[in-house]
Structure 1
Amino acid sequence: MSSYKVLDVNDDLPIRTKGAVHSGKVRSVYWLTDEDSARLIEEKGYDVPKGTELAIMVISDRISAFDCIWQGENGLNGVPGKGIALNSVASHWFKLFDAAGLAGNHIVDIPHPYVWIVRKASTVRVEAIARQYITGSMWRDYSKGVRNFCGIDLPEGLTANQKLAEVLITPSTKGIIRGVAEVPEQDDVNITRQNILNNLDAFNFKSAADVDKYEQLLTQGFNVIAAELAKLDQIFVDTKFEFGYVEDTSGVEKLIYIDEVGTPDSSRIWDGAAYRDGKIIENSKEGFRQLLINNVPDSDVLLNKDRMPEREALAQGYKLPESVMLDVSNTYVGIASKIVGHALTIPADPRAEVIAILDEQYGLID
């Protein structure tokens, strides 16, 4: 067995909740009882209206790519330090957003590096994607002759990994949008700005002005992160943000950032010196994706959505060498340490630490 303790299972913690735990690819969300939410708002002085629903959001060290979870040999079912790296980076950017006067976010407290306490938001059903370089899916389509991307016309003559003239907003669906003729009923499908404006209710926007607002917040947030990364000689290539509505303490509804921002999972980050030398060094999950493409027996299984059952079977049976998982750990923890300005400490037993803190300091363990 591996000597590393990772938090790979994060949906079975003994946290007192109402309803079932919601578990995604990386994070699990525990909605607190109304009594515990009210108690914590009172005890901790959270700046949210009384009656706000709170949740414990626990990040894992699992790594997903191509819509599957991947594991290592010797029982290493996650990447050491990945969870703390993602949470630390996102929290860092949220603080800078606050300092820059941008919108707030859903985090009300950070009890432990693996844990956020968040407030409930009414989620906008758009994956807000911003790109400053032509790479990934955009380049794959462009190289096949596509020149219109999410309603934006691209010029002729672009080359792979080239910087674009401006930051482009290329949204996709968050979840399956049903009953809208112009939008295919599938998750993560590219859409246009006009698709959103034509179907505000379906995408859970309150007004057309809020479509302008999310684009403004996406661009402003992108620029804040890009400027900070440039100081580290890192390039912010593209990213995905998410947004939702909450009420402030005066009862005014506002759009805020939710989920994570600017992390190596939700963004591409390139090394600046290597890029100037004509090479791409990935300081984000894209490097792990490329590693999988280069190492699995048949890379088309990963790239072809029609072969999803085969892909899922491959991911369940395929074990990456422990050395590979540790290389991925070095990428995540390395870039996170650069961003936050200090070395991250990987907990020896994150699960035990999380349970102890939520019990002793928050009274949430049954």
Structure 2
Amino acid sequence: MNLADQVLDVNDDLPIRTDKPVHSGKVRSVYWLTEEDSRRLIKEKNYDVSEDAPLAIMVISDRISAFDCIWHGEQNLKGVPGKGAALNAISNHWFKLFKDNGLADSHILDIPHPLVWIVQKARPVMVEAICRKYITGSMWRAYSKGERSFCGIDLPEGLIKDGLLEDLLITPSTKGILKGIPNVPEVDDVNITRQDLISHYSSFNFQAPQDVDRYEVLLKEGFNVIDNALAKIGQIFVDTKFEFGYVTDSKGNEKLIYMDEVGTPDSSRIWDKEAYNNGVIVENSKEGFRQFLLNHFPDPDILLNKDRMPERNALAADNELPLSAMMELSSTYISIAEKITGRKIELSANPKAEIIDILAKDYGLVD
């Protein structure tokens, strides 16, 4: 079996019936269903949403994004085998655990295939909700240069690299470019304070000031649910990013939900506990791939300096990464997914054909 055939890289060309342009992100593509198909599926499948809720098919790819670029490998490998299925399986597992623990629902209504979600349209909160239990990465780099205030929170002196923080820190940033908010620069992914959120809650798409408290509770409790579950399988939950939005259920209740993905190797850092206790960091997340890229190229500043994006894009487009690096990342994703879910991740011989077949037969969404 050809390795490249097992990778779903182009995921915005499926013949799913839609009357809107397909939205293709770095990893996922979103197909908005027609109003007729949305209403039909809500009725047929008894989804707990309002009868006129817009639905979408979300197809995850195996593309690998790092430093805001898409990378590829030798042997025509346009992605990482098993990556998409691993990410979806992990997110599905945590979303179910959140619901079982009485936290909140997610945007996912149905899972027709390991690479596919049927989702309801949510009104997104324009905040990247970041939670940190250890000081590492960009926060450590800033701290080591003397910075002590992060998102309005003052950190003490004497912290050590990769060390445990005294408290679980919430360090939010903007999702997209937000305009006209005092003290918030009009650029993507800029740090904001809790006071910014409370003072200008509607600018961030919160419905009410108390929803800032609600999102913090869901963020901390969601973090703790994942943290406790990972501890049982010898893993440390270091930091993560959550996203939230609003939906209306079948009874007309508006509620704040989890959306996007949660607790995955793409959105989180996960360390091996035994190695950490022995003073070694073993990454079970995409962070290891980022470190590989920084070591692989002679000028790592291209990857870290946002002013050098044209060079960075050229680097990603013009360089085939070693097959060994892509397969090591594949092993990381599949291994941590199987540990978390307790189930084997099966690689499809032809994922695109499988998806089309299921969506045609079971959902009537392919002409």
Is TM more than 0.5 here? yes
Taking the aligned partners of 2:137 and 2:184, their CA distance within structure 1 comes to 22
Q: What is the alpha-carbon distance in structure 1 between the residues aligned to residue 296 and residue 137 of structure 2?
A: 19
Q: Distance in 2 between matches of 1:332 and 1:14?
A: 29
Count of paired positions: 366
Which residue is 2:3 aligned to? 3
2:270 is aligned with what amino acid?
Answer: I
CA positional deviation for 1:186: 0.9
Alignment pair present for 1:88 and 2:120: no
- Give the equivalent residue in structure 2 for 1:159: 160
C-alpha contact (below 8 Å) 2:81/2:327 kept by paired residues:
yes
Q: What is the CA distance between 1:192 and its match in structure 2?
A: 0.7
| Alignment partner of 1:241 is 2:242 | yes
Structure 1 residue 3: deviation in Å? 2.9
CA contact (8 A) 2:3 2:81 kept: no
1:195 equivalenced with 2:185 (yes/no): no
Aligned to 2:128: 127
Aligned mates of 1:219, 1:76 — CA distance in 2: 38
The equivalent of 1:253 in structure 2 is: 254
Instruction: Describe the superposition over 1:91-141 as per-residue Cα deviations: whole angstroms up to 9, x where unpaired.
Output: 000110011000111000000000000000000000000000000111000
Deviations 1:72-108 (A, max 9, x none): 1121000000000000000000110011000111000
The amino acid of 1:4's aligned partner reads A
Give the deviation of 1:253 after TM superposition: 1.1
SS in 2 for 1:240: strand
Residue in 2 aligned with 1:149?
A: 150
What's the counterpart of residue 118 of structure 2? Answer: 117
Any idea what SS the aligned residue of 1:269 has?
strand
CA contact (8 A) 1:122 1:245 kept: yes
- Helix, strand or coil: the match of 2:239? strand
CA distance, structure 2, for counterparts of residue 146 and residue 341 of structure 1: 41
The 8 Å contact of residues 176 and 189 in structure 2, kept in 1 or not, is answered as yes
Return the alpha-carbon distance in structure 2 between the equivalents of residues 127 and 139 of structure 1: 19
Percent identical pairs in the alignment equals: 67
Q: CA deviation at 1:181?
A: 3.0
How do residues 327-366 of structure 1 correspond to structure 2 at under 5 angstroms?
327-366=328-367
Work out whether residues 129 and 171 of structure 1, in 8 Å CA contact, stay in contact via their aligned partners in 2: yes
Q: Normalising by structure 2, what TM-score?
A: 0.98
1-structure distance, mates of 2:256, 2:278: 41
**Is structure 2 residue 316 aligned with structure 1 residue 315?**
yes
What SS does the corresponding residue of 1:201 show, helix, strand or coil?
helix
Equivalence for 1:277: 278
Matched to 1:259, the amino acid is D
Deviates more, 1:76-85 or 1:320-329: 320-329
Amino acid at match of 1:203: F
1:149-179 C-alpha deviation (Å, 9 max, x unpaired): 0110000000000011111000000000112
Find the aligned partners of 1:317 and 1:341 in 2 and give their Cα distance: 38
Paired position in structure 2 for 1:173? 174
- The secondary structure found in structure 1 opposite 2:271 is strand
CA-based RMSD:
1.0
Q: Deviations over 1:202-222 (max 9, x none)?
A: 100111100000000000000
Q: Distance in 2 between matches of 1:343 and 1:167?
A: 32
The residue aligned with 1:289 is 290
Q: Using the TM superposition, give the Cα deviation of residue 7 of structure 1 relative to its aligned residue in structure 2, in angstroms.
A: 0.3
Question: Is the contact made by 2:4 and 2:75 (CA closer than 8 Å) also made in structure 1?
Answer: no
Q: CA deviation at 1:249?
A: 1.7
Task: Report SS of the residue matched to 1:202.
Answer: helix
Whether the 8 Å contact between 2:243 and 2:260 is mirrored in structure 1 is: yes
How far does residue 18 in structure 1 lie from its aligned partner after superposition? Answer: 2.1
CA–CA separation in structure 2 for the residues paired with 1:32 and 1:233 = 42
Distance 1:340 1:276 in 2: 24
Letter in 2 for 1:296: F
Amino acid at match of 2:8: L
Aligned to 1:41: 42
Amino acid across the alignment from 1:46: Y
Q: In the alignment, which residue of structure 2 is the partner of 1:24?
A: 25
- What is the one-letter code of the residue matched to 1:274? A
> For the Cα contact (< 8 Å) 1:2–1:74, is it kept in 2?
no
1:327-359 CA-partner distances (Å, limit 9, x unpaired): 100000000000000221111111111111001
In 2: Cα distance, 1:144 partner to 1:273 partner: 30
Give CA-to-partner distance per residue, 1:2-54, whole Å, 9 cap, x none: 53320000011110012101111000000000000011111111111101110
Query: Which of structure 1's runs of 4+ aligned residues deviate more than 4 A?
Result: none
SS at match of 1:118: strand
SS at match of 2:93: helix
> TM-score normalised to the size of structure 1?
0.99
